[in-house]
């Protein structure tokens, strides 16, 4: 019994030391978390800016543009992100003598990959709308571009928010890979300080908690955005009945 009590006290003392060590490094980890969020935000923005026109091209474009977008989507969905990071930063950028920081390269590669996925999210939302809306817009004299911009996209973007929320979660998880380029995001900082202090379990648990909190906040904000943009009595179920 005394041996058990001594062992328990020893483990408790180690736990306190681990907690104090993590607490002392928390500002360092939070800075890494901010960089992770910034990488994800930049990647989402790139994916949105390119994904929306790509989705329109796939639905309303000519056969050449549809084929080109399909090839782009096929490539970026088929090649692992880790391979793309190495290919761009250590391959293409190096061969072309492009001076780009690891952070910028990380945002660009994740953004181009997210473009492939977001384009399919928006494409699915556009295809879920009744085809008669475009026909009606053209019948009253609207141009195709005006109808897409004023009628189709506002509805499609609302319907895309749940899928976009899922893309945020996926990108946050994928962002841990950018540490291979030297981007000092949360995972890179966690590994560095864990290696220095030998408190691997405590620091990786702390990183997992921080990632969970970021995911929770992000998805809650997007759920709030979905509720604020929802039109009463108007949803995808009603559109399917239209």
Residues in the chain: 242
Average pLDDT, the chain: 86
The pLDDT tens digits for 17-71 are 567 788 888 899 999 999 999 999 999 999 999 999 999 999 999 999 999 999 9
Question: Within its chain, how far is the Cα of 132 from the centroid?
Answer: 33
The pLDDT tens digits for 208-231 are 999 999 999 999 998 888 888 776
* Terminal CA-CA length for the chain: 74
In a domain, 21, yes or no: no
Task: Supply the pLDDT for residue 240.
Answer: 43
d(CA 37, CA 218): 10
In a domain, 158, yes or no: yes
In a domain, 100, yes or no: yes
CATH code, 54: 1.10.3720.10
In a domain, 13, yes or no: no
In a domain, 2, yes or no: no
Task: Supply the pLDDT for residue 12.
Answer: 43
In a domain, 5, yes or no: no
In a domain, 192, yes or no: yes
* Domain housing 45: 32-241
In a domain, 61, yes or no: yes
In total, how many domains does the chain have? Answer: 1
């Amino acid at each position: 019994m005394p041996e058990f009590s001594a062992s328990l006290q020893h483990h408790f003392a180690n736990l306190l030391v681990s907690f104090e060590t993590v607490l002392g490094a928390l500002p360092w980890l939070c800075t890494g978390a901010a960089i992770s969020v910034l990488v994800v935000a930049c990647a989402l923005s790139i994916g949105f800016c390119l994904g929306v026109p790509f989705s329109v091209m796939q639905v309303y474009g000519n056969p050449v543009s549809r084929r080109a977008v399909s090839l782009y989507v096929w490539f970026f969905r088929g090649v692992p992100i880790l391979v793309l990071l190495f290919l761009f930063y250590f391959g293409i950028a190096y061969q072309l003598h492009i001076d780009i920081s690891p952070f910028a390269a990380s945002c660009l590669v994740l953004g181009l990959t997210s473009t492939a996925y977001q384009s399919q999210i928006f494409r699915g939302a556009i295809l879920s709308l009744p085809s008669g809306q475009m026909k009606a817009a053209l019948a009253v004299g609207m141009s195709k571009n005006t109808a897409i911009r004023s009628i189709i996209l506002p509805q499609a973007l609302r319907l895309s928010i749940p899928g976009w929320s899922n893309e945020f979660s996926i990108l946050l998880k994928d962002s841990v890979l950018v540490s291979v380029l030297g981007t000092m995001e949360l995972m890179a900082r966690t590994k560095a300080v864990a290696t220095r202090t030998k408190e691997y379990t405590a620091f990786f648990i702390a990183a997992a908690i921080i990632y969970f909190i970021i995911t929770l906040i992000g998805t809650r904000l997007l759920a709030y955005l979905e509720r604020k943009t929802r039109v009463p009595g108007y949803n995808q179920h009603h559109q399917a009945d239209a």
